[in-house]
Chain A
Amino acid sequence: MPPKSDTAVEDLSLNDLQAEADGLRTRINRFRQSLGRFFVQKQEILDLMVVAAVAQEPLLIVGPPGTAKSDIVLKFKDALGLDEGDYFEYMLTRFTEPSEIIGAIDIGELREGRYIRRKAGKLPTAKLVFLDEIFKSNSAILNILLTIINEKKFYQDGVPEPVPLRVLFAATNEIPEQGELAALKDRFVLKVMSRPVQDAFFPELIDAGLRGEAYKGLNQKPWAEGHCSLDDLMKANRYLTYLFARRTADAKGEEVTDRQLFFPDDVFREFQRLVKTLVREDRIFISDRKLVKLYKLLRVRAWLFSGGTVSRDDLRLLAYLGETHQEIEQLREKVPQLLGDV
């Protein structure tokens, strides 16, 4: 793991980061590929987790019980070498109370007339959060989560406080259709399915499963190899944010945006065509907000996987836009078809 710099990520300039960008990219990719060794056929999910983490967009992992949804997030956290205080995970139920997520009311403060929550060790202090069975939560929790995801804020005694949350992963068995959950659902641009692998990879599953059990029994975490840290992910995010905002001049002296620079015309037109086709033929709902975030995610993937320019291969991310099980399965086939893979 690289030594921790004394400068906070937020204070680093583009020049600082530019010098470090290649190293960051290499470390993150090594982290991504290395962690994949500890799972059977979960590289696709890990790749998306890394992309989502760098883009600082929440990711929803969907799948039946026992398909390593929680395990993959736990190992991801371990591999980043995260302090326990920076990580928060919780399994939500209909009966989960807000105090379980954002901390109980401080009685001492309350006596003083202040409505303050004891947030230590809870979601408002964590940088990486994992919420299991997120759609089982009740409306009180939903409202709190929406505010935190949208505004990265948390209210103490009516006063907003910023939260350090950078990476949010959530898992669910089912994707409900209730209207009240639509807002939360829309915040998850990408939804990836964690599928059982026993049919195609029976021996591999048994071997990897046994290894995992043994590590657990011996309290070993060989996946915590220290390839990269959460700071690296945050730096990568900072770097790319600088790039998105940057305006450069081309040979003729005309201003060129990030899109013009890194999104070739033909790929951009293909992107448009694919989105229109999915909306029209497959009735996939893609909100304007989602489209913008999708652009960001495509750029992150391109930077991470190929160093910069968005290629047709990066458009594969469109396969993760499905809102329901049916749509997820449909897009899994349709997007590669449109891209000419099959």
Chain B
Amino acid sequence: MILLFPNLDTFRLAVTSGTVPPEMALSPAVVSRDDGGRIFVETNAKLSKKGKDALDRLKVLGSKRHGGAVEKVASWLQVLPLTPDAGPPQLSTQAPVLFELSSPELLPGLVAEMLRLGNDRQSYRTLTDGDDQRVLLRVIGPPYYTLLRAIDKLSFAGGTVRAYTEQAPRVWVELGFSHPFAKQIKFDDGQIVLIRPPHEWAYLPDAGYQDVYDVLNFTLPNAASEWVEAPTPARITVPLKLAAGNATDMAEMWVLRGGGIAQLDALVRDSDDRLTEQLRFAVGASPDGEEVVILGVAPSKKEPPVMALDGAVAFKSYWRIPNLFLPVGTRLHPTVRRDVVTKLLAEDRDRRVWLFPGADGSFVPEAISENAFRPLGDWVEYVIGASATDLREWIAATEFDFESFICTDGGPKPKPDREKPEREKREKDERETPVTKPIATKTAGKKSTTNAAAAVESLTTARPPSAWKVRCDELEREFRDRDGPLDSPERLELWPQLAAANAAMGDDRKGEAAICWVNALWNQPAAGLIDGWADCETPNAPRTAAELDARLAVPSPTPSQVRALASLFLAVAQGTPDWLKPRLPAVQKFLEAHETKLPVRGAWLAAVRLAQLSGTDVLGLARVRDRVLGRLLERGLSAEQDLPTFLRFAGLKNSERLRVVRERMVDLHRAARKWAEQSLQSPASVPTQVDSVCTLAYLDLMFAFGLAKLGEGAAARAIVESAQKTLGGIKTADTKGIVANYLFKVFRSRIDDALADKPTIGPLSRELLDELEAINATGGKAANDPHKLAYYVISRMRQQSEIVDPQEKNDPYADWQKQDELKKELAELPRLKDAATLRKRVLELFKVGVRGQQSTPETRFAVLHQALPLTPRVGQDFVVEMLRHVPALFQAMPPSSPGQATEEQAKKEGAILERALFLAAHYDQNDLVQSLVDQFIAHVRKKPDEQRFVLVNIVAGRSLKSLRKVGLRDEVDKLLRRMQDEILKGKTLGQLKAQYAAKGDVWAEVLQTLLNLAAGWQTFGLHDQAEPILAAAREEILTGQVKMGAQKFASLGRTYVAAVGQGPADSGMLRLIELFQKLDPARITNRFTSAPYYSRLHLNLIESTVLAVVSDDFALGQSGKQWLDEDEQLVRKRIHRDMRDLVKRTGV
């Protein structure tokens, strides 16, 4: 049967529409064409009646003969010509391309060309058809240039080269063309088909290809020459000498020869015990019998002390090798690698080596076992310990108050008693108003009495310190091993015993004991426990008015003195003697002034007792509550002040974790600085006006802050000094100088606070704020005045940096937007110092709006955005009042269409919700937290995809952390789950990438959302769940091809480091170091108005890294941080409960 198709279009229609059944279309046929373009197809297949009718309708006729030269085809599809592609070829770098070479002679040239252009993924096979030889060269991702040459067939001398792409398995179509039914072509296995235009098909056997390296013959430029090994020359001897080094090194070890013991004795007698606590010593004998005393600094975060010892040689550790010391102000010459020095001089870690200097730079390595060192404090205690038994008995003997003269006989030489006249006066007062020290009151419950008695009894039980240490270790282990929350009864009953055990170990455990005592008292304020604490803090101090007065009179008390006063007050207040009431104001004033030196619990217990004694002073207690909550808001519980050491470092031996973090912090600084230097110099990265010198100085200061937080005082100070030289050298007459000078002061103040263990997350100090205002005032109203510009640049840094100003994020453009009355008013709010004025102004703006304008939802939104972070300055009531407006305001805001709702608006909404969530949780407004979480999720649902991620990233990033911090771990869990459902909608990582990878910036937001989820999971210890997300983000940041804006990329980087910061420290630090080692310097650029003064995005990333490292999660570890969070939650709950009880009782 021969079918006659009137033209190609009819043929195509018949085949594609199924009019010709597929089995027929795929069967062999004989085809011919006539001059009129008609197509004759002869087939053996049978056509049904229905099929014939359908073909009739298409005017397909039957024919008795062919119209021209016949051609056998394997299927009808072969009749269809290839269609040329519209655009240039688009192939991936992994796409295989088959080059058909008309002659084997073309092969070397083509292979060499592609090798030259960097492609060696080539394999080939040679085919013969009689005399005709062809080569098929298979190349993965060939160079574009070669592809273009193949398309331009004339470019190969001596033959033609065609390129084919595989459009369906084993179907290779010439490059630049497509076959409409490539996927439908069926043919035998073991064959491939090459299709050339217009419809030339070649079936070839499918066989393996040979690697092109098998036929490559690389020629060397010259003949290889064989070298013969010669005898190695004798080893070169290089004498090591001491040469002049850094003269400002601080000594860490001193070697005393000749009369060393006597000098040590004199030192101990004349020194403050804080100095002796810092020192360790060893006594050795040289081979010739000379006695040598080696005095060293104990490992500590404090700076080594400055010592003036006659004839002592001072040493400093060399290159941080822990057991090698060089004389101060010297170094080894020539400089040798650290590992070589270690191997040569200090290979045995158990021996401490010092290079004792001789003449002309020579030295003698001297060494002593590390085991020979012992704390100097211990040695002093050992000498005094001869009369330890007597001392203990005396403490327990309450009836002896006049024994001071007894100890003057024998024992060590007493120090001059400067307090004698005062004490005599106190003793006189005491005789006039005697108070008996109670042991246990009847009001205490049975269990409390038992615990209290046990605690007090334990103080009087004579045990050697080592036995107490063993007992203490047992109790700590028991505490950690018990299940349940921190306030479970099983754990609570251990606090008194822990307190007693720590107290019995001596003065150096007093702080630890105090934390345990206040924890014990927190749950059961039994008299025995109060006495136990007071006895521990003020051993043998009489509980008299004179004693209290004397302690109140100390002008600037140490934390230990404040604890002593608080414990003494609580102890005295049990009996409520008459003389106490008139002294309550003084006690209140003292505690108010110094309560930050007390553990939070201690401060609150004392305040509650004060309120009770002064006739249920609700207002007074409310003030303390605001202060304590403010303290928790600003700094949270302090790991050092509120958490006992054994919980702080739970799960780790000693401070191993901190040590790891500190050591690697230096490496991280180095890597980050190197990256920043390259990035700032990279022409592709940063425009020329960026001041890389200042940027690098600020980077260093950020690391100095981190080091200070980790207790590396010396390193932090060294960086500050260096930065001062850099930044201080800039002329202060222009903007750059003003900015550098001011920001240096801010950083230094933050670093000083960190070193002094003061809160570093509060607002800027009053002096610094005044200075900033002065800069602004000097600038006047001229927009281009250097001072005015400097004010803007500094404000921009305040807005960006969490270290510089973590609290107040004011609008730096506020002064440039004077035309808007509302914005002008809002810009003034942070400058209002007085709480009452601030409250009044905020309420006015919120309710009435600015003069001449009505308050609209938009106005109220703007006011809330600016004022909410400032409300804690006024107090809890005002915070709650403003928070109550948030849900209503969000409902009242007119719904914005996707076009209108800008990313900026989403950011502001996110900022309000984030702050509101945190403040509601902090001020115990759980109902509000619930409603805000619901509102947040509902709000997210309303947003278009792109803004949804922006909103989530702003709210989730900080809220997850703050909710967890205030103890709402269940809320965090819920929020995580809901976010996961709402945002990800069950999609996998791969699916999300496929959906968003085309829009780089959106993909960055998506990844950030995922990282926030991962960070949340990490806080619950679900590291395995978080790992794929971290790995995907890492890959995107380090090697990703998705194009995204520099700002989005920097945000992604910041979220990544923050998420890493929530995980384990050891692997996390390596990840952070890797980030800076491998991050392409050109990825972060800087195009902001602050660019001539610092590069904002660089500093953003660095700051996030530093903050991630010094976060409690990282430095304390997961368990330590969890204890702290749980503890803070308990404290907060108790404060709110006490306050509610008092209000209820008094009916205020």
Contacts and interface: CB of A to CB of B under 8 A. Distances in A.
A binds B: yes
B144 A277 contact: yes
A337 B113 CA distance: 9
A16 interface: no
A338 B117 contact: yes
A175 to B, nearest CB: 6
Given A269-B154, A280-B88, A324 B683 contact: yes
Nearest to A175: B683
Contacts of A136: 688
Given A174-B688, A277-B148, A281-B143, 20 more contacts: A173-B688, A176-B687, A177-B684, A178-B1087, A269-B155, A273-B145, A276-B88, A277-B143, A277-B145, A280-B144, A324-B683, A324-B684, A325-B683, A325-B684, A326-B684, A326-B1082, A337-B116, A337-B117, A338-B117, A338-B145
A312 to B, nearest CB: 12
A281 B142 CA distance: 11
A272 B151 CA distance: 12
B152 interface: yes
B477 interface: no
B145 A340 contact: no
A274 B144 CA distance: 9
A266 B687 contact: no
Contacts of B684: 177, 324-326
A193 to B, nearest CB: 11
Contacts of B683: 174-175, 324-326
A258 B641 CA distance: 88
A280 B151 CA distance: 16
Contacts of B1082: 326
Contacts of A175: 683
B392 interface: no
A273 B152 contact: yes
Nearest to B93: A281
24 contacts: A135-B688, A173-B688, A174-B687, A176-B688, A177-B684, A177-B1085, A178-B687, A178-B1087, A266-B155, A269-B152, A269-B154, A272-B148, A276-B144, A276-B148, A277-B144, A277-B145, A277-B148, A281-B143, A281-B144, A281-B145, A324-B683, A325-B684, A338-B145, A340-B116
Interface string B999-1024: 00000000000000000000000000
B158 to A, nearest CB: 14
A200 interface: no
Listed from nearest, the 6 A-B pairs whose CB atoms lie closest are: A325-B683, A277-B145, A273-B148, A174-B688, A277-B144, A281-B144
Nearest to A328: B683
A270 interface: yes
B149 interface: yes
B145 A274 contact: yes
A251 interface: no
Identify which of B88, B145, B684, B688 gathers the most chain A CB atoms within 10 Å of its CB: B145
A146 B143 CA distance: 38
Interface in A285-342: 324-326, 337-338, 340, 342
B1004 to A, nearest CB: 20
A342 B116 contact: yes
Nearest to B149: A273
B687 to A, nearest CB: 5
Contacts of B143: 277, 281
Nearest to B1082: A326
A315 to B, nearest CB: 12
A272 B1085 CA distance: 34
A213 B688 CA distance: 31
A196 B352 CA distance: 51
Nearest to A275: B148
B519 to A, nearest CB: 59
Identify which of A178, A266, A277 gathers the most chain B CB atoms within 10 Å of its CB: A277
Interface in B132-158: 143-145, 148-149, 152, 154-155
A178 B1091 CA distance: 13
Interface residues on B, range: 10 to 19
A140 to B, nearest CB: 16
Interface in B1060-1117: 1082, 1085, 1087
B117 to A, nearest CB: 6
A338 B147 CA distance: 13
Contacts of B155: 266, 269-270, 273
A177 B683 CA distance: 9
A71 B149 CA distance: 43
Interface in A76-105: none
Contacts of B116: 337, 340, 342
A270 B149 CA distance: 8
A135 B683 CA distance: 13
Identify which of A174, A273, A276 gathers the most chain B CB atoms within 10 Å of its CB: A273
Nearest to B155: A269
Interface string A117-150: 0000000000000000001100000000000000
A266 B154 CA distance: 8
A241 B989 CA distance: 60
Contacts of B1087: 178
Identify which of B144, B152, B1085 gathers the most chain A CB atoms within 10 Å of its CB: B144
Contacts of A280: 88, 144
Identify which of B143, B148, B149, B1082 gathers the most chain A CB atoms within 10 Å of its CB: B148
A288 B683 CA distance: 26
A137 B604 CA distance: 64
Contacts of A135: 688
Given A266-B155, A269-B152, A280-B88, A177 B145 contact: no
Contacts of A326: 683-684, 1082
Interface string A27-53: 000000000000000000000000000
Contact of A177 (B113, B144, B687): B687
Contacts of B144: 276-277, 280-281
Identify which of A178, A265, A280 gathers the most chain B CB atoms within 10 Å of its CB: A280
A136 B688 CA distance: 9
B148 A340 contact: no
Interface in B988-1045: none
A1 B269 CA distance: 97
A328 to B, nearest CB: 10
A319 to B, nearest CB: 15
Contacts of B117: 337-338
Contacts of A281: 143-145
Contacts of B688: 135-136, 173-174, 176
Contacts of B149: 273
A251 B970 CA distance: 92
Nearest to A270: B155
Interface in B658-693: 683-684, 687-688
A174 B688 CA distance: 7
A270 B687 CA distance: 36
A274 B155 CA distance: 13
B735 to A, nearest CB: 14
Contacts of A325: 683-684
Interface string B71-94: 000000000000000001000000
Nearest to B151: A273
Contacts of A178: 687, 1087
A281 B688 CA distance: 28
Contacts of B88: 276, 280
Nearest to A176: B687
B140 to A, nearest CB: 16
Contacts of A338: 117, 145
A267 to B, nearest CB: 11
A98 to B, nearest CB: 19
A274 B1085 CA distance: 31
Interface in A247-275: 265-266, 269-270, 272-274
B1041 to A, nearest CB: 12
Nearest to B112: A340
A99 B152 CA distance: 55
A56 to B, nearest CB: 29
Contacts of A272: 148
